[in-house]
Every structure is written in structure tokens, then in C-alpha cells.
Amino acid sequence: MKDFKDTFFYTKKTCSARGKLIDVSTPRVMGILNITPDSFYDGGTNNTQETALQKVREMLQAGADMIDIGGYSSRPNAEDISITEEIMRVEPVIKAIRNEFPLVWLSIDTFRSEVARKAIEAGVDIINDISGGKADPEIFQVAAQAQVPYCMMHMKGTPQTMLRETAYEDITLDIIGFFEKQIQLAREKGVKDIILDPGFGFAKTAVQNFELLRRMDALKVFNLPILAGVSRKSMIYKTLGVKPQEALNGTTALHVLALQKGAGILRVHDVTEAREVITLLKNYSR
């Protein structure tokens, strides 16, 4: 049987951030740290430096490879806060994490170039943009100048409008077309390392999310790492008729499928369980 690295990942093996390399030849776990009062699952639980640092400690001990820090809730109909407020939420937390954990890879979950710039100055290594560069094209220039990887997610509309933006001719082909255009724009600005995120739950119905998961391996055509963010999302808890707090088992099931379809990074709330999935699949594929 093929080696696990070849079975569940593909040609692109590394990402570089300001001279540091992260090996993505086997799947990695990105732990979610929301510095927000209103995120759909953990809003309000990590809003102080003390609670945020404790959460990071727990995720790193559980096996997280990187931490994704967000100060703007992207749940449907979330409040549209100012750039200043978003920076005030994330900047001190980033500095505190970087001070205690100087080697950990940090990602900033933002679609605003100014927030990304401030986050990089504070110590962030990756930009994770839910708009794929559509909301603020200047973000490509920020990534290029700082020489950090850029995670490009697909979304139509905004968190405030995306529930009304679910019309597609062919969801997978439409997303491939989106990435073709945005990758070209990013490359023209000098972005070297790009990660693709199909954007589960963003401007997509439950049926569309599952169709996208079934066909996610089509994104391998770009020869770029793929990030899957399905953790505790509505495609799971609404389908099962449970609450987000009860969606861990469903999340684990979809993580297996996402890895089999080519995901190289799992963005998760529950690091231990995601790491277990990767370990078990690695042994299964030997």
C-alpha cells in the first residue's frame, strides 16, 4: 500500500514563513483560538490573555501544530466590528502567545489587510483569509511583503450576507474557477506559499457542503496544500439534530473523509481527537 504521505497528501511539501519551514508532507492540526464574544461554538471563552494562553497550552500539549487566532466572528449574521476593535482583540494575545511559545506557528484569521499587517508585526506566521482576497485585495501585498503563507478560503458575500449567496451552477467547478482567478492575483502580487480552503459552511447549504466534501480531491489540480475546516459546523449538527457542543463525533467522522479526499491541514476545536484520526489513518495505510 502507498505510504501515508503519498496517500493523504501530495507534491507540495513545505510552507515558508520569513525563513521558517513547516513540513506539510503529513497532515497537520490547526487549533482554533477565537478571541470573540459571539463565535458559534466557543465565543467568549478565550477573551482574556490568561484564558487564551491556557487554551493554547492545552492545544499544544494535545498535539496542535499551529494556532489560528481570530478576533472577528465569521458565523452567519455576526456583528461587523471595526478594524480597530479587531486589532485590539488579537494583538495583545498574539504577543503574549509569541512570548511564551516562541517557536509555535501562529495564524491570523482575518480578511483585513491592516489587521494582518499588525498581527504579523506581533508575531504571526500565516494569514488565513475567509474571503480569499475578495474583501481586501491589499492583503495579498501584505502576505508578499512579509513572506508568509496565505490561506485562501472560498466564500461568497460576507458573514452578514452569505446565507443568501448559495446559488452555484456546479459548486466544485465554481470554486475551482474562483481559486484560479484569486491564485493568479496573489501570485502577481508576489505571494509564494498558498493554502486552499474550500470554505465549508460559508455561502453553502448542507447539501452543497457534502457534495463539496465528496469532490474535494478535485482541488488537488492546483498542487497546493488543502485545509479543511468542518469542526462542529452546522453541516454536522443540523444534519444530526444536535447542538454544536454535541457535534464532536460527527466532526471526527468528517475529518476521516476530509483526509481521504486530500486535506493536509485540519482546522479544529478539538485537537486530541483530530490528532487521533491522523494517527489511526497513518497506521491503517501502512
Domain boundaries, the chain: 29-228
Amino acid at 154: H
What cell does 209 get?
A: 457542503
**How confident is the model over 130-145, as a mean pLDDT?**
97
Q: What is the pLDDT of residue 153?
A: 98
Helix or strand holding residue 115 (H, E): helix 113-122
Who's near 106: CB < 8 A, 6+ residues apart? 66, 67, 69, 94, 97, 98, 123, 124, 125, 126
Q: What is the pLDDT of residue 286?
A: 72
Active site residue 233: yes
Does the pLDDT of residue 154 top 60, yes or no?
Answer: yes
Q: What is the pLDDT of residue 40?
A: 47
Polymer length in residues for the chain = 286
Predicted confidence band at 38 (pLDDT cuts at 50, 70, 90)?
A: low
**How confident is the model over 215-232, as a mean pLDDT?**
96
Q: Which is catalytic among the residues 233, 238, 282, 286?
A: 233
Q: What is the pLDDT of residue 36?
A: 82
**How confident is the model over 176-195, as a mean pLDDT?**
97
Does the pLDDT of residue 5 top 80, yes or no?
Answer: no
Give 278-283's long-range contacts (Cβ < 8 A, gap of 24+).
278/26, 278/27, 278/29, 281/4, 281/8, 281/256, 282/4, 282/26
Mean pLDDT estimate for the chain:
90
Q: What is the pLDDT of residue 3?
A: 45
Give how far the C-alpha of residue 10 lies from the chain's centroid of Cα atoms, to the nearest Å.
19
Q: Classify each residue of 172-195 as buried b or exposed e, where b means 16 or more C-beta atoms within 10 Å of its C-beta.
A: beebbebbeebbeebeebebebbb
CA distance 153 to 250: 22
Q: What is the pLDDT of residue 169?
A: 95
How many CB atoms are located within 10 Å of the residue 208 CB? 18
Q: Which is catalytic among the residues 267, 275, 282, 286?
A: 267
Record the pTM.
0.92
Active site residue 5: no
Does the pLDDT of residue 223 top 90, yes or no?
Answer: yes
Q: What is the pLDDT of residue 18?
A: 72
**How confident is the model over 54-82, as a mean pLDDT?**
91
Does the pLDDT of residue 2 top 70, yes or no?
Answer: no
Q: What is the pLDDT of residue 45?
A: 61
Contact 251, 261 (CB under 8 A): no
CA distance 223 to 240: 34
CA distance 183 to 191: 9
User: What is the second-level CATH architecture of the domain 29-228?
Assistant: Alpha-Beta Barrel (3.20)
